[in-house]
């Protein structure tokens, strides 16, 4: 849908703040000081960490270079280009929204009247929407490129950045850059057509923090990669103090001239600080009240009194705290008037995602084990039939209450699982999984060995709580670095679903019901992975591979076509474990929602964490940290493209109750109480064996 390499990623991540900036061009500005820029959406986003320097291709460079030339024979300055770019972006976004609304009305009219004229117009309008979306995303990327180029200094000035936090003047002895950072040279770069490019290889903690102020730090993706991985070599307190020291030493003396080093250092410090808050508040500030208190105290005492940007930072912190608590919408408290626009943007994104699904949805062809052919085409088509239709209430046996009590869920038992279709159950399980997955952060997958996560199906033993896990074993973060342990909750939830699947099967009292339930879970898992919900698919597979479940007699009478799904699931598992970035290949992840397996992703990160992080001279290997940041960035990539199934809250409540009931169940104890779990000898055969035994015994006495 786009000509550039990562346009949709930047556009979708920063649409909210960018639109707010466009709408407020002629409105009230919150920045009282002219030397501070309008920092709207400072976070570079996951695409910056994933694509790096390739994020801005040659088309972006040439477009910015030619911007404004049609109005003047001379090239315009960067400020004039920014104004023109914002105007173009605002105009294209407005047209895009109008077209979306017209499409929605036309779609409703087509459903009511089903006229031939309306049907013929919809495909054409859908194509126009894709073109308009691509253009808006490209302009968003160009604007992000303009922002990324600002306020950086040359690499030779980086020692000055370090000194700026130690003294009020800049007249200090120069420091050798080679003592802070190590580079290696590459061949001609595809983006800027230089003969050679210096690429950062390693650096000291102080040098790596100073490199944030490099002119190309944002363009190379370094800033976002740093925000993901800095905890390996410095604590949150050390990083915050580094930024605050630079702001303190440059804020009061920074001139209005944007070309001076003091102004660049001051503005870049604010830029990085806001990007850190926007992207990592939940993992750094929300879990560390002392860190948050230090920042608020500094802003109130040092920044707010000198310039209006302090008020915006405080408002940003309040909004981030409210979002963490679930008490606020995604829009900024400064721009409450834009709530309707933000909600409209969400609807536009959801609708356009559905349009993309209709165009780009393809079927998976997994390589199966020997003796197994490819998945039958009609099986895939059968599961995808009606995928664009919203699920209807699946059962009439639900009561009218908003939730199902535990007693009610126990009374109904697994009957609802049999009555509901595999697709309906897949949709609701996917929404439940998405709710848990959207709360995680890329940083949660780092240093998982210290949390006790191992390469096993069960990451955390049930007998051991998350609080008792020792952080002294294999801790790759600094000892004083506070780590959020949400990954343990994510893995515990996965383990609970696997246990629930196994428990539902072994508690069926007849072999026939077990066969039906095995078939149902296999079809659910198949539907899940075809909808790219790999998390639930792998959780169901783990439940079916339980040792007790695998020994059930029901497997022998399972239909062959259904039994083949088990081999498909194992092939999917091998596929997921084969490559840490296998789900990021191509452009499908940009248009189709995806939920990865948390445990598989954690194992991939652990693989990258294997080995030393420092060189013989003590410098930290940035190439290693960059690869880790690239892998974990896919978490944010998948979160920005949500599933849009209609929730069935009653069915979800029932599923929650069943999962909660069996989450800590002992499968072997449950199986022992059910005779259907054992191979039974037919009565006639059993009596005949007794008669034969008696006959032989009688013969011995004769």
Closest CA to 588 of 534, 630, 625: 534
Specify whether the CB–CB gap between 237 and 298 falls below 8 A. no
Query: In this predicted model, what pLDDT tens digit does every residue of 477-526 receive, in sequence order?
Result: 998 898 999 999 999 999 999 999 999 999 998 899 999 999 999 999 99
pTM of the entire predicted model: 0.77
Which of 288, 323, 358 delimits the end of a domain?
323
* In-domain check, residue 142: yes
In a domain, 487, yes or no: yes
* Radius of gyration, alpha carbons of the chain: 29
Same domain, 530 and 563: yes
- pLDDT of res. 159: 82
- Would you state the pLDDT for residue 626? 96
467 pLDDT band, cuts 50/70/90, is: very low
Domain residues for the domain of 141 are 47-150
pLDDT by residue (tens digit) across 357-404? 444 444 444 444 333 333 333 333 333 333 332 333 333 333 333 344
356 lies in some domain = no
- Residue 284 is predicted with a pLDDT of 95
Q: Tokens in use for 494?
A: 């996965």
State whether 234 and 144 are in the same domain.
Answer: no
Q: Tell me what pLDDT residue 538 has.
A: 97
Query: Domain check: are 602 and 522 in the same one?
Result: yes
Q: Is the model's pLDDT at 568 over the cut of 90?
A: yes
Give the tens place of pLDDT for each residue, 251-284.
877 666 667 888 888 888 998 999 999 999 999 9
Do the domain assignments include residue 226? yes
Residues 567 and 485 in one domain: yes
In this model, does residue 615 exceed pLDDT 60? yes
- 57 with 202, same domain: the answer is no
Least confident of 36-40, 339-343, 512-516: 339-343
Same domain, 138 and 251: no
What is the separation of C-alpha 332 from the centre of its chain, rounded to a whole number of angstroms? 21
pLDDT for 609:
96
Number of domains in the chain: 3
* Residue 423 pLDDT exceeds 80: yes
> Residue 472: inside a domain, yes or no?
no
Residue 468 has pLDDT above 80, yes or no: no
> Considering the domain boundaries, does residue 184 fall inside one?
no
Residues 128 and 161 in one domain: no
Residue 200 has phi, psi (to 5 degrees) of: -65, 130
CA distance 225 to 50: 8
Percentage of the chain beyond pLDDT 70 is 70
Instruction: List CB contacts of 52: < 8 A, sequence separation 6 or more.
Output: 220, 221, 225, 626, 630
Residue 156, pLDDT > 70, answer: yes
Q: Does 314 fall in a domain?
A: yes
Residues 93 and 160 grouped into a single domain: no
Last residue of a domain, one of 323, 354, 377: 323
Residues 138, 160: one domain? no
pLDDT at residue 405 in the model: 47
> Is 466 among the domain residues?
no
Output b/e per residue, 316-354; b: 16+ Cβ within 10 A. Answer: bbebbbebeeeebbebbebbeebeebbeebeebbebbbe
Q: Judge if 99 and 223 occupy the same domain.
A: no
* Residue 394 per-residue DSSP state: -
Query: Residue 41 — pLDDT band, cuts 50, 70, 90?
Result: low
- Residue 266 is part of a domain; what is its CATH number? 1.20.870.10
pLDDT at position 70: 55
Residues 508 and 627 in one domain: yes
Q: Are residues 237 and 115 in the same domain?
A: no
For residue 485, give the 3-state DSSP assignment.
coil
Say whether pLDDT at 544 is over 90: yes
* Nearest-angstrom CA–CA distance, 145 and 59: 12
Query: Given 323, 344, 369, which residue is the final one in a domain?
Result: 323
CATH of the domain at 630: 1.10.840.10
CA gap 369, 497 in Å, rounded: 26
């Amino acid at each position: 849908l786009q000509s550039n390499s990562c346009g949709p990623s930047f556009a979708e991540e920063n649409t909210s703040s960018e639109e707010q900036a466009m709408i407020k061009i002629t409105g009230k500005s919150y920045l009282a000081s002219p030397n501070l820029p309008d920092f709207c959406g400072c976070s570079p986003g996951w695409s910056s960490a994933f694509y790096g320097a390739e994020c801005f291709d040659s088309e972006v460079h040439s477009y910015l270079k030619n911007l404004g030339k049609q109005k003047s024979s001379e090239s315009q300055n960067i400020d004039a280009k920014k104004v023109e770019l914002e105007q173009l972006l605002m105009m294209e976004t407005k047209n895009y929204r109008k077209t979306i609304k017209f499409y929605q009305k036309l779609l409703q009219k087509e459903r009511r009247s089903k006229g031939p004229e309306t049907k013929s117009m919809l495909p054409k309008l859908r194509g126009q929407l894709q073109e308009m979306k691509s253009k808006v995303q490209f302009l968003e990327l160009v604007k992000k490129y303009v922002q990324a180029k600002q306020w950086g200094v040359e690499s030779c000035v980086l020692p000055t950045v370090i000194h700026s936090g130690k003294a009020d003047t800049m007249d200090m002895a120069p420091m050798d850059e080679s003592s802070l950072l190590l580079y290696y040279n590459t061949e001609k770069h595809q983006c800027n057509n230089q003969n050679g490019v210096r690429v950062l290889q390693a650096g000291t903690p102080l040098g790596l923090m100073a490199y944030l102020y490099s002119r190309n730090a944002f363009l190379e993706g370094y800033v976002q990669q740093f925000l993901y991985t800095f905890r390996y070599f410095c604590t949150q307190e050390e990083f915050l103090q580094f930024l605050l020291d630079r702001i303190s030493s440059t804020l009061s003396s920074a001139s209005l001239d944007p070309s001076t080093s003091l102004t660049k250092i001051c503005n870049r410090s604010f830029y990085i600080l806001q990007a850190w808050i926007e992207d990592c508040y939940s993992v750094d500030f929300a879990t560390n009240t002392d860190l948050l208190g230090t920042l608020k105290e500094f802003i109130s005492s040092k920044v707010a009194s000198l310039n209006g940007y302090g008020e915006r930072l405080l408002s940003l912190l309040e909004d981030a705290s409210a979002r963490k608590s679930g008490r606020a919408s995604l829009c900024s408290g400064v721009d409450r008037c834009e709530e309707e626009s933000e909600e409209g943007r969400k609807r536009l994104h959801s609708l356009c995602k559905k349009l993309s699904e209709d165009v780009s949805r393809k079927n998976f062809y997994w390589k199966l084990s020997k003796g197994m052919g490819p998945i039958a085409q009609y099986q895939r088509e059968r599961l995808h039939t009606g995928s664009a239709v919203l699920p209807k209430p699946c059962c009439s046996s639900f009561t009218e209450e908003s939730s199902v009590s535990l007693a009610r869920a126990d009374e109904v038992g697994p009957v609802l699982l049999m009555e509901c279709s595999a697709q309906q159950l897949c949709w609701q399980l996917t929404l439940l999984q998405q709710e848990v997955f959207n709360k995680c952060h890329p940083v949660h997958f780092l240093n998982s060995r210290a949390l006790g996560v191992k390469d096993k199906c069960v990451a955390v033993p049930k007998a051991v709580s998350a609080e008792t896990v020792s952080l002294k074993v294999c801790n790759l973060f600094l000892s004083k670095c506070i780590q959020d342990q949400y990954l343990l909750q994510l893995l515990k939830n996965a383990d609970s679903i696997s246990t629930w699947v196994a428990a539902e099967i072994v508690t069926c009292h007849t072999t026939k019901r077990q066969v039906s339930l095995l078939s149902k879970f296999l079809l659910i898992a198949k539907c899940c992975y075809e909808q790219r919900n790999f998390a639930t698919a792998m959780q169901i597979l783990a439940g079916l591979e339980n040792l007790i479940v695998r020994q059930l007699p029901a497997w022998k009478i399972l239909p062959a076509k259904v039994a083949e799904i088990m081999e498909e699931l194992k092939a999917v598992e091998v596929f997921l474990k084969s490559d840490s970035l296998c789900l990021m290949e191509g452009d499908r992840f940009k248009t189709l929602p995806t939920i990865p397996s948390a445990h598989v992703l954690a194992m991939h990160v652990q693989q990258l964490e294997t080995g030393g992080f420092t060189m013989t001279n003590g410098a930290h290997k940035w190439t290693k940290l960059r690869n880790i940041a690239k892998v974990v960035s896919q978490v944010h990539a998948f979160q920005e493209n949500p599933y849009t199934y209609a929730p069935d809250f009653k069915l979800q409540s029932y599923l929650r109750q069943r999962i909660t009931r069996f989450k800590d169940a002992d499968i072997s104890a449950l199986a022992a109480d059910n005779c259907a779990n054992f191979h039974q000898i037919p009565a006639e055969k059993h009596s005949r064996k007794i008669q034969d035994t008696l006959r032989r015994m009688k013969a011995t006495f004769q």
